[in-house]
Structure 1
Amino acid sequence: MVHVVRTALALQAELGECPLWSVAEHVLWCVDILAPAIHRFDPRNGTVQTFPQAEEVGCIGLREQGGLIAALRSGVWLLDDEGKPQRKIADNPGIAAQSRFNDGRVDPWGNFWCGSLWEPQDKNGGLLCRVTPALELEVKARNVKISNGLAFSADRRWMYHSDTPNEVLYRYPLNETGEPGEREIFRRFDARGGLPDGAAVDREGFYWSAQFDGGRVVRIDPNSAEIVDEIKLPVKWPTMVAFGGEDLKTLYITSSRENRTAEELARYPQSGNIFSVELDVAGIAEPLFRG
């Protein structure tokens, strides 16, 4: 299938990440991890509000009580609806000087998940953490180099989680309360086609994965783990996807221009922008953090 890719927002982010559609506001939230900043984009009129942060912001979630929860380098914070820190609820459980938070989202039970990456890249020093509505941070997985691709199956039976440089997508069985069991390898990737970065699940249970350094987004069958569709992009470094729009059939795609040479940026000048694709299948509305 040929997909029509449009530039939704010429953001030119250094490291665009964590697109998040607010059903209540009809806007797309996202972050530029390295700016660092949180952005609020209204596609109806093209306006963008930017909320600068004092430190790298890996991922965000929307809260039931209003405002945001955000994983910053120093730890997890509650923010108001203009991105201003209100309260730090947990320290970074890793070594903050060598690891920062990266990909994450709220799960169907109202917990906030946030993974980290190990910056020296000489070992699997990243973590996967869960913040409960009681504001307690728990380390749920270790032995990860760059935590990414966190998503939950449509039937709530599985949690997906990728390790980008190690070219692997895991999944964890979930019980009725959302507690994960032992992880298993769901799919391995070939770096020549891209590395598994951020992702989202559609209403039919298929997993859409941004292929960093591969210039595409792929749709993966939840039963066979095979790629059944792809979206080719005008940039080589997509980072994450999110379903949005009035019917949740618009796929938004963030991208990066971090550490790219002048020659690479000349070849891919739209790097760092946000793209959109209209699909025939809808996504799932993002849950709200209950803390």
Structure 2
Amino acid sequence: MDLSRTSTLAPVADVVAQLGECPRWDERRGVLWWVDIVAPALHALTPASGDVRTLSMDEDIGCFALTEDGGFIAGMRSGVWLLDGEGRKVRQLHALGEDTATHRFNDGRCDTAGRFWVSTVDEAKACGDASLYCVSGAQGEAMARIDTGFMTGNGLAFSPDGRWLYYSDTPRYKVYRRAFDAATGNVGPRETWLTFTPTETDRARPDGAAVDAEGCYWSALYEGGRVVRISPQGKVLAEYALPVQCPTMCAFGGDDLRTLYVTTARAGRPADELARQPHAGRLFAMHVDVPGLPEPRSALRTTTD
């Protein structure tokens, strides 16, 4: 498919994920990586050929960032791990520190200094004690809790000028932001930036996100069947519909970072909805005019000499 001619979101890979998440463009390999959290795997699409490579995981994988040496730093159910380029566990950096029967790492990415910011989810939505952490240090030895009290930590992204850290609590319909110092990693107080209002027919909730080169925040609205582009001032500028109910996250890719990729979910959805929406769980893409930003990598080594 020539995505430069496609201005609507269309499926681009044959893989059907149960809970697709965390799309990441790998400019060195020319592939788009994404995860299936609950049928745990890392998938890699080569857009030029349409081929998909799958690396199976031995536990739920919520998110990851690329490393400089070709591996991954990943937020999994049991903790934060370094994985090699084949998805094999190299070493655990940090255990979760929350009840892994009901909690896991969920959403995360690196900042421009290579720190790994990662949030958790309270799957039962019973305690509301999920948290946001930052993993830093030359060996990834430090993990600081930045915030807590969420049901589902999501939507992590940084403004292009390094002034803002964004994240969301999906079930509470809120996107937060904090003043951010990219040089030090210090953050200011949490403030509510956006609140979405559900209706009887539209339970759109802010899930995973990405920021483009103009500083606009792109949010996948779970149960809303669309992705929205939001200005730095908090105004919804555009909406892009999908033929499925549950988009989960978006990312920019392609050589010019003008391809928007969107992951979707089918796990836990009603049978009649899935019958009407056979593409649920697929990866979607379309061309956009404003490019995204290169995805920062971690400098932590995932290979052994």
After TM superposition, the score normalised by the length of structure 2 is 0.92
Q: Return the offset for 1:193.
A: 5.5
> For 1:228-252, what per-residue CA distance to the aligned partner results, in whole angstroms no more than 9, with x for missing partners?
1010111110000000001000000
| 8 A contact 1:213–1:237 mirrored in 2 | yes
Does structure 1 residue 121 correspond to structure 2 residue 125?
yes
User: Percent identical across equivalent pairs?
Assistant: 45
How many residues are paired up? 289
Give the letter for the 2:227 counterpart: V
Q: Which string of whole-angstrom CA distances, capped at 9 and with x for unpartnered residues, describes residues 53-87 of structure 1? A: 11100001101122111111111111110100011
Could you say which residue in structure 2 is the equivalent of 1:278? 287
Residue 187 (structure 1) aligned to one of 170, 194, 209:
194
1:256 and 2:260 equivalent? no
1:12-161 alignment to 2 at 5 Å?
A: 12-134=16-138, 135=140, 136-161=142-167
Could you tell me which amino acid in structure 1 is paired with residue 286 of structure 2? V
Please give the alpha-carbon distance, in whole angstroms, between the structure 1 residues aligned to 2:223 and 2:270.
14
Partner of 2:303: none
The answer on whether the counterparts of 1:193 and 1:214 sit within 8 Å (CA) in structure 2 is yes
SS in 1 for 2:220: strand
The root-mean-square deviation of aligned C-alpha atoms, in Å, is 1.2
Partner secondary structure for residue 182 of structure 1: coil
Tell me how far 1:260 sits from its aligned partner: 1.2
Q: Distance in 2 between matches of 1:123 and 1:168?
A: 18
User: Which string of whole-angstrom CA distances, capped at 9 and with x for unpartnered residues, describes residues 173-192 of structure 1?
Assistant: 01242321111000000232
Aligned residue among 203, 221, 225 for 1:211: 221
* Paired residue type of 1:67: G
Distance 2:255 2:137 in 1: 28
Q: Which amino acid aligns with 1:266?
A: A
Q: Distance in 2 between matches of 1:231 and 1:221?
A: 15
Spell out, residue by residue over 1:122-176, the C-alpha distance to the aligned partner (whole angstroms, 9 max, x if none). 2311111111143122111101110000000011100000000011000010124
Per-residue CA deviation, residues 7-27 of structure 1 (Å, 9 max, x unaligned), is 111321000000000111111
3-state DSSP of counterpart to 1:9 = coil
| Runs of 5+ consecutive residues of structure 2 not aligned to the other structure | 1-5, 301-305
- Is 2:243 aligned against 1:234? yes
- Say whether the 8 Å CA contact 1:19–1:28 is kept in structure 2: yes
**1:133·1:290 contact (CA, 8 Å) conserved in 2?**
no
Q: Structure 1 CA distance, aligned partners of 2:153 and 2:14? A: 26
8 Å contact from structure 2 (residues 174, 192) kept in 1: yes
Contact 2:103 2:122 in 1 (8 A): yes
Is the CA contact 1:19–1:252 (under 8 Å) kept in the aligned structure 2? yes
Classify the secondary structure of the residue corresponding to 1:165.
Answer: helix
